[in-house]
Structure formats: C-alpha cells, structure tokens
Structure 1
C-alpha cells in the first residue's frame, strides 16, 4: 500500500479529491488541513505521495513545497489547486511539484497523471480499494462547500486579472458569513480603517439566486492600478471608466466560475459606480435598504510587489440562501 497525504483546508475539496482517485489504486490516506500538518505526516513516513492545495491558512502550498525541499523529505507532490495563474504553475514546478491539476480534479486527468508519473499501474493492481470509511468521516457543511466553490471561482478570476495587469495575484482563503446589514457595516468599517474608497456594484440573478457583487477599490492605490494598465486618467470620469473595466473582469470571472460549478446561468446587470472617494460608512448607508440580511462571501486579491489590493464581496439576498443551499447540496454529499 502506498502512503498518500491529501492536503487541503477544505473538507469538501478533500472529499472531492479522494472520490476522484482511481478506485483500484492501493493507497492508505492521511489528511492534512494545512502545510504544517502535511509536513508532520511526511516526517512520520505517512506520505510517499502527496496531493497538495496552494491556498491554505497557517502554511500554504508554496511554503510547503519549499519546506519539503529544504528538509530533503522524500515525497512526490502533485498540486491540485483552483489558482490557475500561469505563474502559479511555473512556481510550483520550480519548487519540485511533479504535476499541476486544476480544481475540481477530473478523475480521468488525475488517473492519467498518476500513470504518466509512474505512481499508479492499473495492470499491477487487480483488486479494488474502498475509501468508504475515509469519505464517511468527511462531513461537509454549507459554508465549507460555498467557500470551496468560491475558492475555485476566484482562482479563475485571478488568472484573468494576472494576464490583464501582467502581475502575480496573491489569493487568500475566502470568508463566508451571514450578516445583518448592521453587522456587515461594522465588519467592513473595521477592515477599512477609515480609508477613502471607490466602489463598483453589479447585480446578478439566475435560477432563483440573486444578489450583488461589490468591488471596493482603495483610493490610495488607484494611481498604481492606472500605471499597471498603462492608463493616464485625466479626471474622475476616466478613473471611473478604468475601475468599471477592472470590475467587469474580476466580477464576471468570479460569477462565471461559481455558476459553472453549481449549474446555474447568471444574468448580470451593468456594473455601476456606487461612489468615489467615499468612506465605507457612506457606501453602506446609501445601500443598506437594498441589502438587509445577506449572505456575504468576501475575497481579497492583492498584487505581488505592488501596493494594490481589491476587496470583492458577493452579497446574496436572504431569499436566495435556501435555493443556493439546494444547488450546492450535490457537491456536499
């Protein structure tokens, strides 16, 4: 039996990945929710092969690959990630990963990768191996499932943003919360520390699921964004055009990635500038009647080597939560 470590902070991602393994591949599975746990398993001899995510708390996939190399640990690593930027692929290969498979892992692609790397020989494994006990132990809740769906979608958005700006986009773990609008107000005010903001909003609706995407730009970083895009906005009107163009890329790609995974087609409204040079308090005050109670998914993108980051909020209406739960259920079980 081959000792295998599956490392991902999401229960749903690990469950999907274990289901995608060749059923006749003779492995014993250890699980890790971050790089630190994965390294501990490797040091105990529990990982001859590892399937590794990139975006994780505590220690991410890049740091894990670097530590494996630094410690000289004998482990063959395949990266399985939603971060599909070309630079991400280049970096993990440089750090010693043998393959890069995009999430959610296609069983046939995973199978052919394992065969190609000499890690799995179907002719030499005549008996099926069941992972029922491992899969049964993985309980997936709604927030974990939505977080993973968003994680994959934001990776696709980052890849488009990276191409448009010629940069590497650093991705966090998405946050999923159900807020009253007053709580959303407090959370955002806390996070923005009194900065002046510009915000773009774009509505979406499809198959009983509706909401708005809110993309926040920090005024102090707009000049850096313009330089990256080779824009020279002369006034607020030209600046707003630039922000609307960027918002179309980020919001469109993220919503498209979510829609594809949960089998929904979203119709999107035109992006609108909610305000420029405003405090987050003013933006929330202007729009609190529209949002009321909301399911909020928060994603923050930052650009490596640049003082630029974007805060994207997907605000689903309260009425959408039941329908969204039903759509996501088949991914959870």
Structure 2
C-alpha cells in the first residue's frame, strides 16, 4: 500500500525540491499544500500520514499547523523542513510534536536518514510498504496525482530573456521566477536570522520575504508602514559578483536602538556615534550573512564594498533619495526582521540591478534542472 505523504510549503520551488529529495523507488502517494490551512484539510482527507512541513507560510504557518494537529488529535508524522534554523525554532517544533527538523535547502541523504530512523522508510524493501502500526490508515479512495508537481520549471527562466528584448515589457517578473527568488531569499534570511539569534540570545521572528521588480522611487511606498510610524537610520553596502551587482540596505527604526544596545551589551547613551556603531554592527551581521546565503545557493561569490551611512534619524523617503538616481529600476527583496518580546524592527533590502537579472535567471534555471 502506498503511503500518503503531504508536502506543505508555500514555495513551488521548495515543494519540487523536497519531492525530488525523497528516497528513490519509495512507494508514496504525494500530495501538496501551499499553506497550513490547506495542509490541515489534506491531513483530514487522509492525504498526510507523513507530513513534510515548512514553517514560514501565509494563512497558517507551520507552528499553527503543529498546534492544530495536537488540538484536533490528527494522525500524522511530521518532519519540519525550514529555512528558519534558529535553535529556538528547532526546540519549539519538537515540543509541538514534530519528529525532527531539516534545514533548507533539503539534503536528500539527510532526509532519507531521518525517514529511515523513524521507520517511515525501509531501504531495499520491495514488499508492501506501510507506516508503523501506530499510525496505520486505510487506503485513500481518491489520492492526489502522484508526483503531480514534478514538471521542470526552467521554462519560466527561459522566457525572461525573450521578454527582456522588448524594452518596457522586459520589466516584468514571472510568478514562478518570483517564487524562486523568494525561496532563495527565505533560506538566506533564515541563516542571517540564526546568526542574529545566537549573537543576541533571542528568538528572531522571520517573515515571508517580499520580492518585486520596482522603480527605486517606489521603495519608500513599499516601506510606507515604517515611513508613517517614525524616523529611521540606514546603512548601504554595495556588492558585486560575476554578472551581478547591487546594494544592500539596512534600515532600523530609531526606537529600536535602546533595546539593541541592551542586547549587545552596550552602555546606551543618546549619542549619534554610539547609535552609528550599533547600526554598523547590526548591518555587518545581517547583510553579511544574508548575502553569503544567497551567494552559496547561486554558487557565486560576492565581493562586498565598504558600508556607507545613508542617514540617521530620517524618514525612509529621505534615506532612499540619497541614491535614487543610481539605483533606478531594481529587483528588490525586502526582509523585515523583528525580535520576540522586544520593540526592535529593522528592514533589510537587497537591491539587484536590472542588468543582473539575466545572470540571476540563468543561475536559477541551472538550480532547477
């Protein structure tokens, strides 16, 4: 009997990567869910005796899924596969009943080892495969199509170069490419969040990265929630790789300085030089780790320039205006970090030039082959 296995992740790219990483010749009936609410519905429909679960998702995240499984006593075995690799995240999901935790991007060998360790997958077993008796379920009468989402995604990347030749029409981000950029950013964001969490001994709340192709004049609009609330301070740092160039911006709400100083063991004083030092330290951690995460996934090293102060105690629009003529159009990846139980909020933006898109798309196409 085939094992009903559910992959729950909001990223199409991640779902396909996980499906491709399953043990070879494993008799499973694969279903997919794009958020936690869909995942719970699929489990109730008998499609998830085994659940491979992401944490950062819209509608209902992975933590809420685990809480619902406990509350409603749903019969499933859960392994979390996430870019959020903080020690606290690992502890929280296991306390909520997850069997184990695997970091993204998923490693096939590691996944097979964990599935084998819990008796979910038995190697070299050509007989009827089933789960341990404790979670045995009757056959599903109408299972989802087997491996229904395993078609290649390279078409999305290939079409971009054609569209690019059409002047203004080139300024367009295919939805599947957006999903790929978002998943790459998600993994890099998790690595940076993990470093920050370990440094400050806190739990970093990670969002779903926001990816858009925009005019730089629209950046202040994209960050309008910060703009309306208070003044900010910002750091900009350029980076370059083979065929790729861009700048990283770290924007910190001014109200965050006191808590950041306390966590970093600074003797806080209302002094711009101290605040600038804190901002630089935070930028070194988040910008460096996030760029390294993107670089590792693309297999392309980035050289980073010296950080430059955009301004202190200014509105977002004033910070952006400093370099607006230089940036023009950009692929903008926005990550809004916050820290649980503290009034700390900072935005990290990775801005890639429009000319970098061809190289980026080719790299993504290679990843998906």
TM-score (norm 2): 0.87
CA distance in 2, matches of 1:95, 1:271: 41
Task: Determine which of 158, 161, 167 is the counterpart of 2:202.
Answer: 167
Partner of residue 351, structure 2: 315
Unaligned runs of 5+ in 2: 129-144, 157-175
Distance in 2 between residues matched to 1:186 and 1:14, nearest whole Å: 32
How far, CA to CA, are the matches of 2:216 and 2:307 in structure 1? 21
Aligned mates of 1:132, 1:187 — CA distance in 2: 37
Counterparts in 2 of 1:75-224, with a 5 A limit? 75-125=76-126, 133-136=148-151, 141-224=176-259
- Deviation at residue 192 of structure 1 after TM alignment: 2.5
Q: Paired residue for 1:26?
A: 27
Deviation at 1:190, TM superposition (A): 4.9
Distance 1:299 1:246 in 2: 14
CA offset at residue 11 of structure 1? 0.1
Aligned alpha-carbon RMSD (Å) = 1.8
State the distance in 2 between where 1:332 and 1:241 align: 41
Deviates more, 1:37-46 or 1:186-195: 186-195
User: Matched residue of 2:296: which SS?
Assistant: helix
Aligned length: 332
Instruction: Find the aligned partners of 2:240 and 2:126 in 1 and give their Cα distance.
Output: 48
Equivalents in 2 of 1:307, 1:39: separation in Å? 33
Classify the secondary structure of the residue corresponding to 1:112. Answer: helix
For residues 92-140 of structure 1, give each alpha carbon's deviation from its aligned partner in whole angstroms, at most 9, with x where no partner exists: 000000010111111110011100010001222379xx96543028787
Distance between the aligned counterparts of 1:109 and 1:224, measured in 2?
Answer: 38
Q: Give the unaligned 5+ runs of structure 1.
A: none
1:286, distance to aligned residue in structure 2 (A) = 1.5
Shift of 1:194: 4.8
Alpha carbons of 1:204 and 1:305: their partners in 2 closer, same or farther (altered >3 Å)? same
What corresponds to 2:336 in structure 1? 300
Equivalent positions of 1:217-236 (< 5 A) are 217-234=252-269, 235-236=271-272
- Is the 2:8–2:52 Cα contact (8 Å) retained in structure 1? yes
Structure 1 runs (4+) deviating above 3 angstroms are 130-134, 137-140
| Alpha-carbon contact 1:204-1:212 (below 8 Å) kept | yes
